[in-house]
Amino acid sequence: MIPGTWYSLRLERIHFENERTRTFHFCIEGSEFPQWKPGQFFVCDLPLGEKRTQRWRSYSIANPCTDGHKVEFCISFKEGGAASQYFFSEIREGDAIRCKGPEGNFTLPDQPGIPLTMVCTGTGIAPFRAMLSEIDARGNPYSSVDLIFGVRNEREMLYRSEIASWCARIPNFRASICLSRQPEMPLPEHPGLQYLHGHVHQCYDSLLRDMGADRPQPQFLLCGWSAMIDQAVAALVTQHKVAGKNIRYELYG
């Protein structure tokens, strides 16, 4: 694909995930089709003004490239945000926006046999949804895959049924859902899925301590708000001595 090529995305439908989050299902128009890797993003040109800084927004692609001309963005509402106003109040089914890409290097590591740990909060799960969908379809090349997903309560969980199905179908996959503001935990839908009261930091801390020093360090992929990323990177490097080359992240704000 030629860098900088622009594509037309036509909105097919909007799925209401919860009070503040929606998934927007687009179809890529035309004969040209961008090939993306799970974890990459598109830069969208939204009708928000004249300047590029006003108009351009980047969104992780929430589905794998195997879905034909379909593109999904999982977007949360941000108070006072111009893009939020557009997506949550103005765009309608049948409307088209322009996008270019794919861009980004936040992709699955090409290291078969290693342990892989994905840590995310909120809509930071979007690129991991694309990654895990591809792993589910093509097989798990890693020795283990752990998903650690933090939200305030179970109403804010995204892709809940898919996470349970991944636990059932992907070998050596486990999911830990951290509910920071819900004291009572729901019953897990699968033995490979657990619900915990607290934050993601407690969960990866426990995971690393249980692994022991004789096992190889996992490759960490982190996605979420900058405060979570900053705290996680600091803890992994200083407390757990995880090598910097084993930590990759994608910031959301």
- Show the beta-strand stretches assigned E in the chain: 6-18, 21-28, 41-45, 56-60, 70-76, 96-103, 115-121, 144-151, 173-179, 193-197, 219-224, 247-251
For residues 122 and 225, what is the distance between their CA atoms, to the nearest angstrom?
8
Q: What is the mean pLDDT of each run of 10 residues along the chain (253 residues)?
A: 77 96 95 89 94 93 87 95 96 97 95 96 97 96 97 96 97 96 93 95 88 79 94 94 95 74
Per-residue model confidence (pLDDT) at position 59: 96
For 190-211, give one letter per residue: b (16+ CB within 10 A) or e: bebbebbeebbbbbbbebbeeb
Sequence-distant (≥ 6) Cβ neighbours of residue 112 within 8 angstroms: 141, 142
Per-residue model confidence (pLDDT) at position 2: 45
Query: What domains appear along the chain, each with residue ranges and CATH number?
Result: 6-103 (2.40.30.10), 115-251 (3.40.50.80)
Per-residue model confidence (pLDDT) at position 68: 72
pTM: 0.93
